[in-house]
């Protein structure tokens, strides 16, 4: 059994908690260190089920703290880094771009430099090491929507055949698509991706970058579309739809992303980029209707009872029209496929939020918000 000492950054956040859970449960021989600053988006309650496992450890640290991270690398003899910690919400980046540059760019650079110094000090240097950076499809910019009514897509996957499956344009994001970020969030993620690739090209660090589409599922902070709307429908609060609700996003169930990360961390080729997505494009307004129907059905409310909560509001600044990932490379080279049809994933997700109202109440409580906002603004 190969033993590894792996740091997962941002493990207390939405996607990170699913990655930590998967690795802790699947690889008892690995030491898994969850490194997280615990901003408002980080919540150790997301990992209650693994916190007592002997191969799991939590370290509270800011990824910008180069000295502390270098020390941790030495003490724990880290040979793998899976880097998810980031500021992740576009609306926040529009209000506060500096925090995004600091965490996403400078934080990533601090990790890279500490890893470089530590790994280069070892006799075997970079052999057996991995720096895996998790990024987003938003770095590619926005695709044209030249089929607003949707057309049959050129791709099918096991999980996408059946149910809704449309493409809203002829073009897709490929691994070779030129970077063209529009929001402060995507600009900061693009910059961090460039630094990661530069550490491979300049120093020979064994890096991998993946760019994934929008995730949904349990433990997502309710500032993002799907959990925010589930909670608002439950409490019969207005659903703020930006612009005309026509923007298209490509949605992937978070556990499918975590499985892809596991596969790529172990079998991906060094210096490669992989796009991750399930060929699952939806207009916001269509998704919102599915969510309303699902919540109403599961709560035993009348069909369409909550449709009038839909409230069109001023559009987001610089709102990207369409994202759509081509993940053929990952599917062909590593055999990954999304496991769920979207309708199943949404059902599972809505059920989880309704069954875990305590989690939702905790993160939306005034006390939680005040505590984290206070800490966050220090």
Residues in contact with ligand TYD by the rule CB under 6 A: 90, 214, 224-225, 228, 240-242, 247, 249, 284, 316
Unique residue bearing structure tokens 């990655």: 19
Contact 70, 100 (CB under 8 A): no
What is the C-alpha separation between 170 and 268, in angstroms, rounded? 28
Looking at 62, 137, 193, 326, which residue is catalytic?
A: 137
| Sheet of strand 281-283: strand arrangement | 214-216, 248-253, 281-283
What is the nearest approach in angstroms of ligand TYD to the Cβ of residue 163?
Answer: 20
For residue 107, state whether it binds ligand NAD (rule: CB under 6 A). yes
Answer yes or no: 371 catalytic.
Answer: no
266/316 with CB nearer ligand TYD: 316
Contact 233, 306 (CB under 8 A): yes
Of 6, 84, 258, 340, which one interacts with ligand NAD (CB under 6 A)? 84
Gyration radius from the chain CA atoms: 20
Looking at 36, 62, 138, 193, which residue is catalytic?
A: 138
Q: Per-residue x/- mask for ligand NAD, residues 4 to 23, rule CB under 6 A?
A: -----xx-xxxxx-------
What is the nearest approach in angstroms of ligand NAD to the Cβ of residue 43?
Answer: 7
Total residues at interface with ligand NAD (CB under 6 A) = 30
For residue 62, state whether it binds ligand NAD (rule: CB under 6 A). yes
Contact 181, 138 (CB under 8 A): yes
What is the nearest approach in angstroms of ligand NAD to the Cβ of residue 165?
Answer: 20
83/189 with CB nearer ligand TYD: 189
Spell 159-186 as b/e; 16+ CB within 10 A means b.
Answer: bbeeeebbbbbeebbebebeeebbbbbb
Contact 30, 8 (CB under 8 A): no
225/276 with CB nearer ligand TYD: 225
What is the nearest approach in angstroms of ligand NAD to the Cβ of residue 360?
Answer: 14
Determine how β-strand 214-216 pairs with β-strand 56-60.
unpaired
Please, which residues have CB within 8 angstroms of residue 327's CB and are 6 or more apart in sequence?
274, 275, 276, 277, 278, 279, 336
204/240 with CB nearer ligand TYD: 240
- Maximal C-alpha separation, the chain: 67
Applying CB under 6 A, the span of 155-163, 211-219, 331-339, 345-353 interacting with ligand NAD comes to 211-219
Applying CB under 6 A, the span of 80-88, 196-204, 237-245, 347-355 interacting with ligand NAD comes to 80-88
Answer yes or no: 138 catalytic.
Answer: yes
Of 88, 177, 232, 327, which one interacts with ligand NAD (CB under 6 A)? 88
85 binds, among ligand TYD, ligand NAD, none (CB under 5 to 8 A by kind): ligand NAD
For residue 38, state whether it binds ligand NAD (rule: CB under 6 A). yes
72/90 with CB nearer ligand TYD: 90
What residues make contact with ligand NAD under the rule CB under 6 A?
Answer: 9-10, 12-16, 36-39, 41-42, 62-64, 84-88, 103, 107, 134, 136, 189, 212, 214-215, 221
User: Which residues have a catalytic role annotated?
Assistant: 137-138, 185
């Amino acid at each position: 059994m190969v033993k590894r000492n792996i740091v997962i950054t941002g493990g207390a956040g939405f996607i990170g908690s699913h990655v930590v859970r998967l690795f802790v449960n699947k690889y008892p021989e690995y030491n898994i260190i969850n490194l997280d600053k615990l901003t408002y988006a980080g919540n150790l309650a997301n990992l209650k089920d693994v916190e007592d496992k002997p191969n799991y450890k939590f370290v509270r640290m800011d990824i910008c703290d180069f000295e502390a991270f270098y020390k941790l690398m030495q003490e724990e003899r880290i040979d793998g880094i899976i880097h998810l910690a980031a500021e992740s919400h576009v609306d926040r980046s529009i209000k506060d771009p500096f925090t995004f540059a600091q965490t996403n760019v400078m934080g990533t650079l601090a990790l890279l430099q500490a890893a470089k110094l530590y790994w280069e000090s070892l006799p075997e240097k970079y052999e057996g090491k991995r720096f895996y950076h998790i990024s987003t499809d938003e770095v590619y910019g926005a695709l044209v929507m030249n089929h607003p009514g949707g057309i049959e897509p050129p791709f099918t996957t096991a999980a996408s055949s059946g149910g809704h499956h449309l493409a809203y344009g002829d073009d897709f994001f490929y691994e070779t698509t030129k970077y063209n970020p529009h929001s402060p969030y995507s600009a900061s993620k693009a910059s961090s991706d460039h630094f990661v690739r530069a550490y491979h090209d300049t120093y020979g660090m064994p890096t991998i970058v993946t760019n994934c589409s929008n995730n949904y599922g349990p433990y997502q902070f309710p500032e993002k579309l799907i959990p925010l709307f589930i909670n608002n429908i439950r409490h019969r609060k207005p659903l703020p739809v930006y612009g005309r609700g026509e923007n298209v996003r490509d949605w992937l169930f978070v556990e499918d992303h975590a499985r892809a990360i596991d596969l790529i961390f172990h079998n991906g080729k060094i210096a490669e980029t992989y796009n991750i997505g399930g060929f699952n494009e939806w207009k916001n307004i269509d998704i919102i209707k599915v969510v309303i129907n699902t919540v109403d059905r599961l709560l035993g409310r009348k069909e369409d009872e909550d449709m009038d909560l839909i409230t069109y509001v001023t559009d987001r600044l610089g709102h990207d029209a369409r994202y759509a990932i081509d993940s053929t490379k990952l599917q062909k080279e590593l055999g990954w496929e999304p496991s769920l049809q979207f309708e199943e994933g949404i059902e599972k997700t809505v059920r989880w939020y309704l069954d875990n109202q305590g989690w939702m109440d905790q993160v939306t409580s005034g006390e939680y918000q005040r505590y984290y906002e206070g800490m966050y603004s220090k």
